Structure 1
Amino acid sequence: MSLFPDHTWTSGDPVALDGSGAVHLPGWLTFEQQQRLVTAFHEWADGPVPLRAAVLPRGQQMSVRTVCLGWHWQPYRYTRTADDVNGARVAPLPGWLVEMGRNALAAAYDPGAAAAWHPDTALVNYYDSAARMGMHQDKDERSDQPVVSLSVGDACLFRFGNTETRGKPYSDVVLRSGDAFVFGGPSRFAYHGVPRTYAGTGDPSTGLPEGRINITMRVTGLGD
């Protein structure tokens, strides 16, 4: 039986989703890059602002745990300091990670788009086997520049929808360790989520024995 039932399978070359501006890059990260991201994740998770599960305005705690770089995200705003955690300023967004994101954007779109892209924050999410992410829009930024997403560890079912509703139409894509996903243009504010993580599908030799790391780099448009 397949470990990945009920999904649209994609693999190999970059796959554009219906010309929407969303592009899946299967296997885009090298194994060494995945290891580097895992090593960095452990460093980021230990501070200055530790990994935490954000609390939504109505008091519900998210099942995904997050650490932020550059700007601190809490529902639904950005601040320089993590006032909902320990008041510390978050770690900076490293240049090598920005360059990795630019390269993914160039592969998905073109080098010109990558040169004009200047992300200033990254949300680093950790999913254990029970974690989920409901359908939502990335709209706390004051910019419509593309979002670049990198995945390491266990595979997940990634649901990418439309800009009007959390429901259909949407596309289900399996994101596996090493995949990148870029969405901008008409799809920049599309609803998307993670209804399932497939435990035990990652390679522990990356340094991540279980779970999934997802890094999304964004342009906040907030200036300094």
Structure 2
Amino acid sequence: MGNREDLMAGAKRCLIEKGYGRTTARDIATASGVSLAAIGYHFGSKEALLNAALIEATGEWGLMVGAVVARANEASDDPEERFVAVWDGVRRTIAEHRGLWASQFEAMVQVERAPELRAALAGAQKEGRLGLAALFQGLPEVPDTEEELARGVFYQALLVGLAGQWMAAPELAPGGRELLRGLELVGGSVLKPKPAPDWHGSPEWHGPAA
């Protein structure tokens, strides 16, 4: 790898092991085996490097979730069982990559005082939502439409909520079956059932066949 790739790898390792807020430029240089000056040359600042590393590491985590979705789709044709299997798998990946999620929450807390970080996260927001919409449907990509963005917003809220609950109390974080039950209860109390078509009022209605 070149210096830029070494720096990215070192920054990702630091995010996982030390966290977003505690990582110094010297930490990254040591982890990557590259000089401090190279950080400024390739990325401009330590913060810009950490932001890029965080976004890239999150994308790599997304590939793991894509594999979870693929396995669930292969294992069952039942949508409910697939939903449960996918979210059980997502919870496992959160547990396996706790350091990454801890860094993500650290970064989100700091956006109020870090304009550069806010811009980086905001810039990735739309792409991330479309990516989640594709990911949880088992598709390589989805079109940039209002419907797919809404789908991505829902998955994003569910995902961040699950990760936050797992970080706070792993033993209390819901599994796929609990999330499915919650979806059923909320959907049943919020969504209005679609009315049946009024065939009798249709201009093409001619009464029952003789």
Please indicate, yes or no, whether the TM-score normalized by the shorter chain is above 0.5: no
**TM-score between both structures, scaled by the size of structure 1:** 0.26
Which structure features the higher share of helix residues? 2
**TM-score between both structures, scaled by the size of structure 2:** 0.27
Which structure features the higher share of strand residues? 1
